[in-house]
Amino acid sequence: MTLPEIAVAAGFVLLLLWAWLASRPICVREKVRKHYSGWRLIYSDARGRTPKGVERSKLLRAVKKGLTGKPDMIYRRVFGRGLMPVELKSGSIKDANAPHDGDLLQLAAYFVLIEENFGVRPRYGRIIYADAAFRVRNTRALRTRLADTLTRMRRMLEQGADNETPNASYASCRYCMCKQTVCEVSYFQKEEG
C-alpha cells in the first residue's frame, strides 16, 4: 500500500468513527437505581444527614459563563478522575424517550459548573425521575444549546420579554428552567400576582 492509499483508508476509518459517534443518542432511558457501582458520592445538596467525606451544598460558580448552581449529587469514579452529576426530579416522565428540555439544560449547566470547579469534564450525567432515569452525554451540541439559551435569557433580562415574545401558559411554563426565577412573564407568577 502506498502512502496516499494509507491516508485515504485512515480518513475513511475516521469518517466512520465520527459518523458512529454523531449518531449515538444524547439520552438513553434507564431503570431508576439508587447506587452506581464503581462510583462514590462526593457532593450532595440533599437535606438531612450527609455521609462523612461528602461535601454538602456548596454553591458552584462558573465565572466565565456567568453560572451558579448546586447539583443534587456529584459522583466520582472509584478508580480514575471521572465525575458524574445526578439531578433528582420528584415528578414522573411516563413514556417519554427524553427528559424535559429544562431538565436537560439544567444538567448541561452542571457539566459546565463541574468542569470549571473540579477541572474535569464529565462524560455524562443522569437525570432521575420518579419512574425513569436518563443517562445524558455531555456533547458539544448540548453545551452549545445551553450557551444559546443563556444568551437568549440575558437578552430577555436586558431588553425585556417583548423582544422574545414568549408563550406564557401552564403547558409551556410548567417545566421551564426560568420558572419563578428570571422570567418576568411566567404563567405561575402571573397567577400569583
What is the rounded average pLDDT for all residues in the chain?
80
Winning range, highest mean pLDDT, from 13-17, 148-152, 182-186: 148-152
pLDDT recorded at residue 154: 84
Could you read off the pLDDT of 167-188 as tens digits, one per residue? 666 666 776 766 655 565 554 4
Q: Which residue has the higher pLDDT, 14 or 189?
A: 14
pLDDT of residue 28: 81
Query: pLDDT band at residue 189, thresholds of 50, 70 and 90?
Result: very low
Q: Which of 12-26, 64-78, 79-93, 116-130 bottoms out in mean pLDDT, i.e. has the lowest?
A: 12-26
11 vs 1, 17, 129, CA distance in Å? 15, 10, 42
DSSP letter for 38, please. T
The share of the chain scoring above pLDDT 70, in percent, equals 76
Alpha carbon 9 to chain centroid, angstroms: 37
Cell digits of residue 100? 424535559
pLDDT tens-digit profile of 51-86? Answer: 777 888 788 999 888 888 999 999 999 988 899 999
Identify which has the larger pLDDT, 27 or 119: 119
Cβ neighbors of 137 (< 8 A, separation 6 or more) are: 24, 26, 27, 123, 124
**Whether the predicted pLDDT of 193 surpasses 50:** no
Q: Is the distance from CB of 84 to CB of 125 less than 8 angstroms?
A: yes
Q: pLDDT value at position 166?
A: 57
pLDDT of residue 32: 78
Q: From CA 106, how far away is CA 116, in angstroms rounded? A: 16
- Sort 94 into a burial class: Cβ within 10 Å, 0-12 / 13-18 / 19+: exposed
Sequence spans of domains, the chain: 20-159, 161-193
What is the value of pTM for the model shown?
0.72
For the chain, the distance separating the N- and C-terminal CA atoms, rounded to the nearest angstrom, is 75
The x, y and z cell numbers of residue 161, run together, are 420579554
- CB atoms under 10 Å from CB of 23, counted, come to 7
Q: Which of 135, 134, 128, 122 is nearest to 76 (CA)?
A: 122
Enter the C-alpha cell of residue 38. Answer: 464503581
Work out the angle at residue 154's Cα, subtended by the Cα atoms of residues 65 and 176, and round it to the nearest 5 degrees.
95
In the predicted model, is pLDDT for residue 116 greater than 70? yes
CA-wise closest residue to 176 among 191, 188, 159, 165: 188
* Helices and strands (H and E) in the chain: how many: 5, 9
Q: Give CA–CA dist 182/176, Å, rounded.
A: 11
Question: Phi and psi for 130 in degrees, rounded to 5?
Answer: -60, -30
